[in-house]
Chains A and B, each alone.
Chain A
């Protein structure tokens, strides 16, 4: 396995940005699910 430092991170500049993206995706999913729950209730 290559050392991580030599690899370019795809899509974002830092891993922190990746982590924020993952959390945001989760939050968006929860909001959509909440809307679905209310809409079809």
Chain B
């Protein structure tokens, strides 16, 4: 990185830190620290929800996803507007009227202590580990691309934000997220502009989309049905899995995950809370669409320019020094030939717009994809990480963006990370204080004591998450997969407990507790069957099955108890 990039990066990060500390003044009690005295306007709630949901990997993975698989990933968010409605109708009125700080408090009022403690524990385990991973995941990408020390990168990614999160609680989190999002959107817009600018002189924005479309990347809507085979249950992103599977996953996130519940409970009224959540339902899909579109532009850019056979340069260098070197050289030569042929066909297509050129282009893209797959399998054989999706966009940024802008884009990765991590630390501390410390402590405590202990818990969770990130640095990417998996396995069950609480009035605590445990076992069983290839089930369906299984098994348990 150039000196100017360093100046931009450090100034941006220091500015956000200073702003967070400046906005730290809050009432010294639990409501002030965890919910900013329930004083936020709807637009700040909206930005806080968006800042919490969008992690660093969102801005790295989404363009890469569009590059490799097309636009269809956007369908994953189609359930979100419907989720916003359900949250406004059911969750927000109950949580706000009862003046709750955590969602899990409601489970004790509705069921019993064990159900509350069980659900809150699942949240703490899952969120604590995944926050550690959301520090490590972008750090490993940056340290690989820029040759930074992974431990120092972790420290900057997850350590600095602890200062303002501890001192200012929910208020500092919301205000910094607002500023972070403005910088992030501005940076992404400028990046998109520069990709178009780097295209050949006669290729404009719509031409770039046309090339992407002809090569199968503008597949925004897919049905999941294949001719003669019916619906593919293993297909991850299509309109049906997005609307149903995505609905259950996102309902779990917005209704039963304290990191989001804690955001909309900061609103100054139930109306402001509802408007914030509904507006998120409206703007999230187009926002995700635009981020993916940057990936399509990068894809088209690489049709006219030399694309690396594999975007993680470190793995490629390792491969070059391995016994697979000769195979790699052959594949790279093949890639080079395809690239030249593509360029010629694209020029021909620009003149003739003929169907024959399109057909030729598709064949060449098929060959190019095969070469990429072959390189990926070589990387795997060499013991490396064969997934380079997260490296695609940043590789382009580092190689082609002007000095200064590279620093800004790197800063965006940090800011996106800080926004979601800060909200997670605040929610982890609130659940620990409210659902465990205050719930099981017999000592009468003053407001000042509660405030101080909340700060200590925030700091402790910050240190815990940093430790997970450092630990992950030692054992590598397998931990990312394991933690992501843990989330998909728990989320459906947590949501199911809340669905029973809201909609199944006759079911009591012990029945739902038993139902949740059996449902969790079922989800784990289905996951194992899927892993061993006995069934083909996309991960989004596990949430829907888990949630509905809790409802079903709770009713069965209720009948068993009755008899």
Contacts and interface: CB of A to CB of B under 8 A. Distances in A.
A1 B38 contact: yes
A18 B89 CA distance: 11
Interface in B53-108: 74, 78, 81-82, 84-85, 88-89, 93, 96, 99
A28 B278 CA distance: 16
Contact of B278 (A2, A22, A30, A37): A22
Interface string A1-33: 111100111100001001100110110011001
B271 A9 contact: yes
Nearest to B272: A7
Contacts of A4: 93, 96, 269-271
**Candidate in A1, A3, A33, A41 with the most chain B CB atoms within 10 angstroms:** A1
Contact of B212 (A1, A3, A9, A40): A40
A7 B218 contact: no
B99 A26 contact: no
Given A36-B218, A36-B220, A22 B271 contact: no
A40 B74 CA distance: 16
Nearest to B216: A41
A2 B272 CA distance: 10
A27 to B, nearest CB: 9
Interface string B221-253: 110000000000000000100000000000000
A22 B93 contact: no
B209 A7 contact: no
B274 interface: yes
A22 B246 CA distance: 17
Contacts, number: 80
A18 B267 CA distance: 18
Nearest to B266: A1
B85 A41 contact: no
B452 interface: no
B85 A37 contact: no
Contacts of B273: 1
Given A22-B278, A23-B85, A26-B81, A39 B213 contact: yes
B85 A33 contact: no
Interface stretch (B280-288, B476-484, B536-544): B280-288
Nearest to B210: A40
A1 B286 contact: no
A15 B213 contact: no
Contacts of B278: 18-19, 22
A1 B267 contact: yes
A36 B272 CA distance: 34
Interface in B193-219: 209-210, 212-214, 218-219
Contacts of A30: 78, 221, 239
Interface in B151-200: none
Interface string B273-312: 1110010011001100100000000000000000000000
Contacts of B85: 19, 22-23
B268 interface: yes
B81 A25 contact: yes
Nearest to A24: B81
B220 A37 contact: yes
**Candidate in A8, A9, A10, A22 with the most chain B CB atoms within 10 angstroms:** A22
A37 B218 contact: yes
A1 B99 contact: yes
Contact of A29 (B82, B219, B286): B286
Contacts of B220: 33-34, 36-37
Given A4-B269, A9-B271, A23-B81, A34 B221 contact: yes
Nearest to B273: A1
A33 B285 CA distance: 11
A22 B213 contact: no
Nearest to A1: B38
A29 B285 contact: yes
A18 B82 CA distance: 12
A5 to B, nearest CB: 9
Contact of B221 (A9, A15, A18, A33): A33
A37 B285 contact: no
B268 to A, nearest CB: 6
**Candidate in A19, A33, A34 with the most chain B CB atoms within 10 angstroms:** A33
Contacts of A22: 81, 84-85, 278, 281-282
A14 B27 CA distance: 34
**Candidate in A3, A8, A23, A26 with the most chain B CB atoms within 10 angstroms:** A26
13 contacts: A9-B271, A18-B88, A18-B274, A19-B89, A22-B282, A23-B81, A26-B281, A30-B78, A33-B221, A34-B220, A36-B218, A37-B222, A41-B219
Given A15-B89, A40-B210, A40-B213, 15 more contacts: A1-B96, A1-B268, A1-B269, A4-B269, A4-B271, A8-B271, A10-B275, A19-B85, A25-B81, A26-B281, A30-B239, A33-B220, A34-B220, A34-B221, A37-B219
Interface of A: 1-4, 7-10, 15, 18-19, 22-23, 25-26, 29-30, 33-34, 36-37, 39-41
